[in-house]
Structure formats: structure tokens, C-alpha cells
Amino acid sequence: MDIEAVADRILDGDRRALARAITLVESGREDHRAEARALLERLKGAGRQALRIGLSGTPGVGKSTFIESFGLMLVKAGLRVAVLAVDPSSARSGGSILGDKTRMEFLSREPAAFIRPSPSQTQLGGVARRTREAVALCEAAGFDVVLIETVGVGQSETVVAEMSDLFVLLLAPAGGDELQGVKRGIMEMADLILVNKADGDLKSAATRTCADYAGALRLLRKRAQDPEGYPKAMTVSALEEHGLSVAWEAMCELNDWRRANGHFDGTRARQARHWFAEDVRQGLLARLQTGEMRSVMDALAAEVEAGQMTPSAAAAEALEKLGG
Amino acid sequence: MDIEAVADRILDGDRRALARAITLVESGREDHRAEARALLERLKGAGRQALRIGLSGTPGVGKSTFIESFGLMLVKAGLRVAVLAVDPSSARSGGSILGDKTRMEFLSREPAAFIRPSPSQTQLGGVARRTREAVALCEAAGFDVVLIETVGVGQSETVVAEMSDLFVLLLAPAGGDELQGVKRGIMEMADLILVNKADGDLKSAATRTCADYAGALRLLRKRAQDPEGYPKAMTVSALEEHGLSVAWEAMCELNDWRRANGHFDGTRARQARHWFAEDVRQGLLARLQTGEMRSVMDALAAEVEAGQMTPSAAAAEALEKLGG
């Protein structure tokens, strides 16, 4: 691949070049990885930054409808919007939450929008790196907003929050007055909680749920990166396209404040450091499962299972083979 | 250290030699580690096996009283009992759940009992290896039963279950009819659920709680390593020393069945393999924080934070330095 030529096309906003580059960063082949790293280093120089919005919501909260409505609103306002996904389930099912572009039928037809399904990977760590690199490619391609979608299960929210400037939690109206099933750790990551489906029969339930979460958010410890009034809970209706512009204004207000107070750059620097360390850890552990080392590990494991070696002695031998 | 001499004394059941050997396996010094591995390899040949009982219970369920009563009962029956601990909190507090031997005042005075506090370590992974090696030392010293205690928080139950032949969950009577706070994953690891404090005012609550858990256990998927009727829930009173012998009989019945059906050896082999792989992983990751590599990581992290390198490029450079 001609890195320079591809880089120039991406910087020109060429969608096909962008799509091919994302395919490149998704590849596990060693030569592809080297090319991907070279491409990312080359594009970094452009210094382009999108607003990265992480969006989490369990199935049924209307995530697709929200992204469709919210994305179209941004496009109409003259912004270019990319949608990526971190899908912890795709590893098992082989499918992906964004595989079906008809989920966002209108948004996907917009020239200023770019929708990319989640890569199928066996490990969340691998998905994380690929998505993070895809975000960087979208930024270089001149997108103003990158939405990173995930379903609210397992650790994927943490992964998405760790690569986002803003983390938005999308919820459905709750039946009772309980804060249903949202773990405290997830609440603590949220910059904005949006209670969707504030329309029709569910409108009053949405208002009540929103008040409950607003109350819960006030009980959380104040974070340095938040101005007065944040994190915040609001109601929206993706279906009736209601509350979306207010939500966007809140995101901009929060982001502007953070930029003005050094938190935007600070958070990005901390995140970059985190992903660097995580990449090294993943890369190290991957060595155990490749090539000659895999045979060494299997042979030692067999000795340990047979009681011929203690786990500690076998581990020491494996580590020595790994250049200890 | 004269490995041969220490090994012989441990095999003779010398408690001071055992205590010193445990101190050796707890050490992080590289020369100590090499000695510890040599000692464990030497002792492995004796082929002694204790019944390893993992015991988990949150603070307040009467864990100390249970271990005291249960341990004394076993000692009176002519068995030698060792008590070890995996304490995830000791890393933070510097203390340990077994630091105060007066917690088990009578048991600690018994010549046939050996109580050892949890080592203070910063990482659960490190605590796991040290405890596992201490278990092996106690087995070599001829103990019949090794109790491995942990508080029911975080991942420590998984660590303890992964080094036990039997995993016992100690619970207190619940107020209502709810299964309070026991995660499904923990339930699934339990071979025996003991509802303690089945005495005085709490007796009927304990019976009810026990019935609730018995019902919940019946809903779990049948495991290959369980005979009919297991996992099982029972009430005990550590205070009144009631139900303890019945609980012990259940443990023996389950263990005998597993031994007769190959599950005892099978589980130990699988556990040994698990700890081998885990030790290799921990050892690999530890390299990032030691010696020259630590400076390399810090320097690269600084470049990543400053935006001079992408996380991916910096990670590739670090991995190359690590002998990629």
C-alpha cells in the first residue's frame, strides 16, 4: 500500500480511502499492522480532532433511532458525522450491532455521514485497539463528530468511555421508581444521561426516570473535569426528534468548558497513555499464543497437568524461554 | 538456604521450618524465588495431598468463629488443620484478616493446627501465587485439611475456588426472603452453602434462608463433578457448635465421590494448568515495571502523552525492546 497516497486521500475526506484504511487497521496480519502504524503516524501530523462521543445503551432503549435522529440533526447543522461501534457480542455471534446499515437508513445515505460496523474480534482488547485507530482515521478524514456506540453489557462501556471525550448513557423510561440495573461504575462514567422515549404513553415515566437519575447523579462525587451542573440527566425523544438539540447544546457546553480548562487535552493525554500501556500488555500476552511459544506453553502445561512439574517451576521455564 | 535440610524438616512436620518456608515463598526477591521453586519441586515428590477447603464469607457472617469451631472439631477427630488466607484488602490496609491470631484463640494453641496470616501484597495475582505455594508447603508438612479463607468481595473468591478441592460459602441469615447480594457467579462456584448463626433468635431466619438458597441451587445447571444432591445448603451454628459434623460429613461424602470418579485429580490438574498460565502472564506483565524496561515504558508514555507518538507506534516500539 502506498501510505503517502492513501494518507493524502484520507486527508481529502475520501470515504473509500477511509473505509479501506479502517479495514487495514482491523487486520491482524503483521505486515498490515506495520502499514497501519505508519499510516496513523503520518496522519497524526494533521492534528485534526473530532468530538468523540461515546454512547452506551442496552438493546431496546432505541439506540439506533437515537443515532439516526441525532446524526441527521448534526448533518443538517453542517457537521460531518462518523458512527463506529464497539460490540462485545460480535466475537461470539460473528455478527455486529452495526452490520445492518438499514438500522440507520437515512443517516447512512447522507454524504456527510459515515457508518462503520464493529469488527469481529475474539477479544475486547483487540476490538478496542481497532476502534481507537478507526476513530483516529475518521478524525484525519475531517469528521467533526465521531459517535462510538456500544451495548451496555460487560466491560465495553469502560472501553468506549476510555476513548471518548464525552460519554453518554442512553436509557429507557423505568417502570417503577427504581434506578434499574445501571451499575454505579457506569453512572460514574456518564457525562450525560439521556432518557429516551419521552413521547406518547411513556412521557411521564421518562420524566420521572430522568428526575430519579438526576437525583442519583447529584449524589456522586464531584469530578474535576465537570463544570457546575454536570453530569446531567435529560429526557429526549429520538422518535419525535425532541430534546436532541438541547442535548447537543449540553454536550457542546461541557466540551467547551473542558477545552477552556485544559481537561480536554488532559483527558486525551491520559487516555493515550492508557491505550499505549494496554497495547503493550495485549501484545506481550499474545506472544504466548503464537508460533514456537505456543508449543512451549502447551508442552509445559501438559507436564504441569500430569504433576511432573509445579506450576511455579513451569512458569519460570516459560518466562526464561520468553527472554527473561 | 539448605533446601534439602529444610525439605526434610517440613516433611517431618516441623512447624518452624514450615513457617520459614512460607516466608520464603512470600518473598519477591529473585534469589528467594529460585529457592522457593527448588523447595517446592523437592517436596512435590512426597506426593502428599490435603483436602483443600476454600471458605468465603463477608465480614459479619461469623467466619472466625466458624473456623475456630470447625477447626477444633477436626483437631479433636485427630486431623491436622492449617488455615491460610487470601485477603484482597490487606494490600490497601497493610493489615490482614488473619493478622490477629486471637481471632481463633483456641485453635491457634492446638499443636495440630497451624494458622498463617495473609501476605501483604499489592496485587491479587501475587497473593494467589504465594497462597497456592503455601498450600503446597502445608500439604508436604502433612496437614490433612487446609482451610483457605477469604472475604467475599471482588475477585478473591474466584482465586480461592481455583485453588480448592471444595468451595464453601458461609452466609448469615437474611432478613427478608431475598437472596441477599450473593452473585450468581459465586453461587455457581459453591459446593456447600452454610447458613451460620442458626441459633437463638436467628434460628428460624437461618432455616428460611437455607431453604431459599437450597431452592436457588436447584436452579443451577448440573455440574459434572457433583453427585446427586450437590451442591447443598445447610444451617450451622458455629457458636453452639451445631451442624458442624454434618457439614464435615457432607464435605467428605462429596470429596470421596469426586475422588472415586476421577474429578478430584481432574480438577487439580486443570487448576495446576490454570496457575501455570496465570504465573506466566503475571511474570510477563511484571517485566514492564522492572529495571530498564520501566524507564523505556515511562519515556514512551511521555511521548504518547505529549502527542509525539500514537499509542500503537509506541507500543510496537516497547514490544520490540521486549524482544519481539
B227 contact partners, CB below 8 Å, separation of at least 6: B253, B254, B257, B261
Report the pLDDT averaged over residues B74-79.
Answer: 97
Which has the higher per-residue pLDDT, B310 or A1? B310
pLDDT tens-digit readout, A28-80: 888 999 999 999 999 998 989 999 999 998 888 999 999 999 999 999 999 99
pLDDT tens-digit readout, B171-204: 999 865 455 567 778 888 999 999 999 999 999 9
Q: Which of A102-116, A285-299, B68-82 has the highest mean pLDDT?
A: B68-82
The predicted pLDDT at position B92 comes to 44
Report the pLDDT averaged over residues A119-147.
Answer: 86
The predicted pLDDT at position B38 comes to 95
Closest in A280, A310, A314 to B318, CB measured: A280
* CA–CA dist B198, B192 (Å, integer): 16
B-chain residue closest to A279, CA distance: B315
Q: Does A246 touch chain B (CB under 8 A)?
A: no
Q: Mind giving me the DSSP string for B249-317? A: HHHHHHHHHHHHTTHHHHHHHHHHHHHHHHHHHHHHHHGGGSHHHHHHHHHHHHHHHTTSS-HHHHHHH
Tell me which CATH code domain A48-260 carries: 3.40.50.300
A78 contact partners, CB below 8 Å, separation of at least 6: none
Residues of chain A contacting residue B313, judged by C-beta atoms under 8 Å apart: 37, 40-41
Cβ(A159)–Cβ(A124) below 8 Å: yes
CATH domain B48-261 topology: Rossmann fold (3.40.50)
Q: If phi over 0 gives left and psi between -120 and 50 gives alpha, with beta otherwise, what is residue A177?
A: alpha
The predicted pLDDT at position A97 comes to 54
Residues of chain B contacting residue A277, judged by C-beta atoms under 8 Å apart: 288, 297, 301
* CA–CA dist B305, B312 (Å, integer): 13
Q: Does B291 touch chain A (CB under 8 A)?
A: no
Which position has the grid cell 425523544? A237
Peptide bond into B231 cis (omega under 30): yes
Query: Can you read off the three cell numbers belonging to residue A251?
Result: 454536550
B155 contact partners, CB below 8 Å, separation of at least 6: B88, B124
Listed as own residue / partner, the contacts of B124-127 with beta carbons closer than 8 Å and 24 or more positions apart are: B124/B86, B124/B88, B124/B91, B124/B154, B124/B155, B124/B156, B124/B159, B125/B278, B125/B282, B126/B28, B126/B282, B127/B86, B127/B87, B127/B88, B127/B90, B127/B91, B127/B159
CB pair distance less than 8 Å for B323 and A318:
no
Q: Is the pLDDT of residue A91 over 50?
A: no
* CA–CA dist B254, B192 (Å, integer): 10
Report the pLDDT averaged over residues B267-282.
Answer: 95
CB pair distance less than 8 Å for A311 and B37:
no
Report the pLDDT averaged over residues A7-25.
Answer: 96
Three-state DSSP class for residue A162: coil
B130–chain A nearest CA distance, Å? 10
Report the pLDDT averaged over residues B235-259.
Answer: 97
Q: Is the pLDDT of residue B242 over 70?
A: yes
Report the pLDDT averaged over residues A136-157.
Answer: 90
Side-chain-facing half-sphere of A56: CA atoms under 13 Å? 26
Three-state DSSP class for residue B221: coil
Q: Does A129 touch chain B (CB under 8 A)?
A: yes
Cβ-based neighbour number of residue A272 at 10 Å: 22
Q: Does B215 touch chain A (CB under 8 A)?
A: no
The predicted pLDDT at position A250 comes to 98
A228–chain B nearest CA distance, Å? 28
pLDDT tens-digit readout, B15-45: 999 999 999 999 888 899 999 999 999 999 8
Task: Compute the CA torsion angle B108, B113, B114, B117 (nearest 10 deg).
Answer: -50
The predicted pLDDT at position B93 comes to 44
Cβ(B179)–Cβ(B137) below 8 Å: no
| Burial of B21 from C-beta contacts in 10 A (0-12 / 13-18 / 19+) | buried
Which has the higher per-residue pLDDT, B274 or A291? B274
Closest in B129, B136, B315 to A280, CB measured: B315
CB pair distance less than 8 Å for A276 and B323:
no
Which has the higher per-residue pLDDT, B50 or A117? B50
Residues of chain B contacting residue A294, judged by C-beta atoms under 8 Å apart: none
Residues of chain B contacting residue A32, judged by C-beta atoms under 8 Å apart: none
B323–chain A nearest CA distance, Å? 7
The answer for A 294-323 residues in CB contact with B (under 8 A) is 297, 300-301, 304-307, 309-316, 318-319, 322-323
Q: Does A279 touch chain B (CB under 8 A)?
A: yes
CB pair distance less than 8 Å for B285 and A288:
no
B-chain residue closest to A283, CA distance: B319
Q: Does B136 touch chain A (CB under 8 A)?
A: yes
Q: How confident is the model at residue B96 (pLDDT cuts 50, 70, 90)?
A: very low
CB pair distance less than 8 Å for B36 and A273:
no
| Mean model confidence pLDDT for chain B | 89
Q: Is the pLDDT of residue A268 over 60?
A: yes
Closest in A136, A276, A322 to B304, CB measured: A276
A-chain residue closest to B309, CA distance: A41
The predicted pLDDT at position B125 comes to 64
B-chain residue closest to A277, CA distance: B315
The predicted pLDDT at position B91 comes to 44
* CA–CA dist B168, A18 (Å, integer): 55
Q: How confident is the model at residue B103 (pLDDT cuts 50, 70, 90)?
A: confident
Which has the higher per-residue pLDDT, A1 or A76? A76
The predicted pLDDT at position A107 comes to 93
Q: How confident is the model at residue A320 (pLDDT cuts 50, 70, 90)?
A: very high
* CA–CA dist A97, A115 (Å, integer): 12
The predicted pLDDT at position B102 comes to 63
Which has the higher per-residue pLDDT, B324 or A228? A228
Question: What angle, 0 to 180 degrees and rounded to 10, lies between the N-to-C axes of helices B263-286 and B244-260?
Answer: 90
Helix (H) or strand (E) holding B71: helix B63-76
Query: Can you read off the three cell numbers belonging to residue A278?
Result: 494496554
SS3 content of chain A, % helix, strand, coil (to 5): 55, 10, 30
pLDDT tens-digit readout, A150-191: 987 668 889 999 999 999 999 999 865 455 567 778 888 999
Number of CB pairs < 8 Å for A and B? 139
Residues of chain A contacting residue B36, judged by C-beta atoms under 8 Å apart: 312
CB pair distance less than 8 Å for B281 and A285:
yes
| Burial of B298 from C-beta contacts in 10 A (0-12 / 13-18 / 19+) | exposed
B-chain residue closest to A287, CA distance: B324
The predicted pLDDT at position B28 comes to 83
Among A50-54, A127-131, B9-13, B259-263, the least confident range: A127-131
The answer for A 14-33 residues in CB contact with B (under 8 A) is 33
Q: How confident is the model at residue A120 (pLDDT cuts 50, 70, 90)?
A: low
Cβ(A198)–Cβ(A243) below 8 Å: yes
The predicted pLDDT at position A242 comes to 94
Report the pLDDT averaged over residues A12-41.
Answer: 93
Q: Does B279 touch chain A (CB under 8 A)?
A: yes
B53–chain A nearest CA distance, Å? 20
B-chain residue closest to A323, CA distance: B323
Most A-contacting residue of B123, B162, B284 (CB-CB within 10 A), to test interface? B284
Q: Is the pLDDT of residue B223 over 70?
A: yes
The predicted pLDDT at position A94 comes to 39
Three-state DSSP class for residue A84: strand
Tell me which CATH code domain A1-46 carries: 1.20.5.170
Q: Where are the domains of chain A?
A: 1-46, 48-260
CB pair distance less than 8 Å for B316 and A129:
no
B310 contact partners, CB below 8 Å, separation of at least 6: A37, A40, A41, A44, A136, A272, B304
CB pair distance less than 8 Å for A323 and B323:
yes
Q: How confident is the model at residue A95 (pLDDT cuts 50, 70, 90)?
A: very low
The predicted pLDDT at position B89 comes to 60
B133–chain A nearest CA distance, Å? 8
CA neighbor of A167 nearest in space, from A256, A47, A278, A57: A57
CB pair distance less than 8 Å for A44 and B318:
no
The predicted pLDDT at position A135 comes to 97
Q: Does B133 touch chain A (CB under 8 A)?
A: yes
The predicted pLDDT at position B238 comes to 95
A42–chain B nearest CA distance, Å? 10
Cβ-based neighbour number of residue A207 at 10 Å: 14
* CA–CA dist B56, B63 (Å, integer): 8
Report the pLDDT averaged over residues B216-239.
Answer: 92
Give me the residues paired with residue B194 across strands: B170, B234
Rounded to the nearest angstrom, the gap between the alpha carbon of residue B294 and the centroid of all alpha carbons in its chain is 31
Q: Does A324 touch chain B (CB under 8 A)?
A: yes
Q: Mind giving me the DSSP string for B165-210? A: SEEEEEEPPPSSSS--S--HHHHHH-SEEEE---SGGGHHHHHHHH
- Beta strands B51-56 and B145-150 are parallel
The predicted pLDDT at position B315 comes to 95
